[in-house]
Amino acid sequence: MKKVLMMAPMGSVHRRFNNANIEALRQLRCEIHLLANFEKGRGSEQQNPVFARKCENEGIIVHSLPFVRASLFGNLGLVKHIRELLQQENFDLVHAHTETGGLLLRLSLGTSHNSRYVYTPHGMSFYKGAPLKARLLFKPIEKWICGAMDANLGMNMEEFDVLTRWNKASANYVHGIGLNVERFKGTEKSKSEIRNELGISDDAILICSVGELDDNKNHSIVVRTIAELHNQKIYYIICGVGPNHDSLTELAIQSGLQDHIILAGYRKDIPDILHASDLFVFPSFHEGLPVSLMEAMASGLPVICSEIRGNVDLVKNGVNGLLFSPDNYSQLSKAIAQILSDKKRMAEMGAQNSRDVENYSYSVVVEELKQIYQKNLV
């Protein structure tokens, strides 16, 4: 039985993004090990201990180290412990996730080793339009990490193109993390029932966004744009938590939209919310390959999203949605007005999204990962 380690700084990375990887390795009958910080934290880290226990109950071996979240260099003190784990377990394959995970793996490698190494960045920091500091600092680090790997996995075309330029032989394209498409194709409740629970009338226009309430997700541009449209039928629901909750609440009040902006917090019923919505808007400044956008597509919604890496893999302007510059209010305002004025086109875009997102389904991604793992487990 082949022994495989998947490592990431935080347990939430495995829980949210690596289920298809785990399933692929399970189908290949591997002994699966997970390394991360599995202690209970805030936000998305609250479920870490529960997820760790679930994995252990399923026969997965869990290793926990006190990684720090969102810190590329703040975890360097753990290199010694990672190196000891690699030497002790003698894994056949190690798969690192995120830039932090990739850097720590690269630093932990000895001069001689028999393992094979795989790396998934989940969104490189030197994306198109990134600050100069990020491009100057992170690009050489990423290139150094990728140079030591037997396989590098890109989940959007911009990253895959970079990986191909660096080392074509090790570059692989994977259609995201694997979406449970069936979960978003329908709900037990009717659209009217869901709207009634949300306090939204059947004849209202409900725009939805899903994502953390932070500067990158850029929800404020949607609030400001709705204020400029002066359409009392439009309501905007945002599902997510984060540091910008209070500022968004204040912005809604200042814009006179306090009764039209719904900060719904963390929701377990995202399929219901999407089913009750008319339009999905995704205004982020940067993404890898956004799951929430794919979920909206699977729900059959027309979408308006920022013209950035990852989004442009999923949305073709004028075909299954509309694109806009994430800092351009005028473009977003025109896009919302345009798409809401043509119900037939909205329905066509939604239907196209339902078809297109099948390429990113869980079963497709599991098969892609199995092929990559099989190639590197010889």
Provide the pLDDT for residue 79: 94
- The confidence band for 378, taking pLDDT boundaries of 50, 70 and 90, is confident
Of 153, 146, 158, 94, which Cα lies nearest the Cα of 122?
Answer: 153
Residue-wise pLDDT for 295-339, tens only, equals 999 999 999 999 999 999 999 999 999 999 999 999 999 999 999
d(C-alpha 116, C-alpha 118), whole Å: 7
Residue 47: strand, helix, or coil: coil
β-strand pairing of 303-306 with 279-282: parallel
Predicted pLDDT of residue 136: 77
- Ordered by start, the domain boundaries in the chain are 3-178+361-376, 182-358
pLDDT at 44: 64
Evaluate if residue 182 carries a pLDDT over 60: yes
Helix, strand, coil % in the chain, rounded to nearest 5: 50, 20, 35
CATH numeric code, 182-358: 3.40.50.2000
The predicted model gives 354-376 an average pLDDT of: 97
Asked if 3-178+361-376 and 182-358 have one fold, the answer is yes
**Res 126: pLDDT:** 64
Residue-wise pLDDT tens digits, 113-122: 679 999 999 8
User: pLDDT band at 22, cuts 50/70/90?
Assistant: very high
Given a contact cutoff of 8 angstroms between Cβ atoms, the answer to whether 96 and 119 are in contact is yes
Q: What is the pLDDT of residue 43?
A: 64
In the chain, what's the furthest Cα-to-Cα distance?
Answer: 67
CB 34 within 8 A of CB 63: yes
Residue range 3-178+361-376 in CATH 3.40.50.2000: yes
Distance, in Å, from the CA atom of 214 to the CA atom of 43, rounded to the nearest integer, reads 13
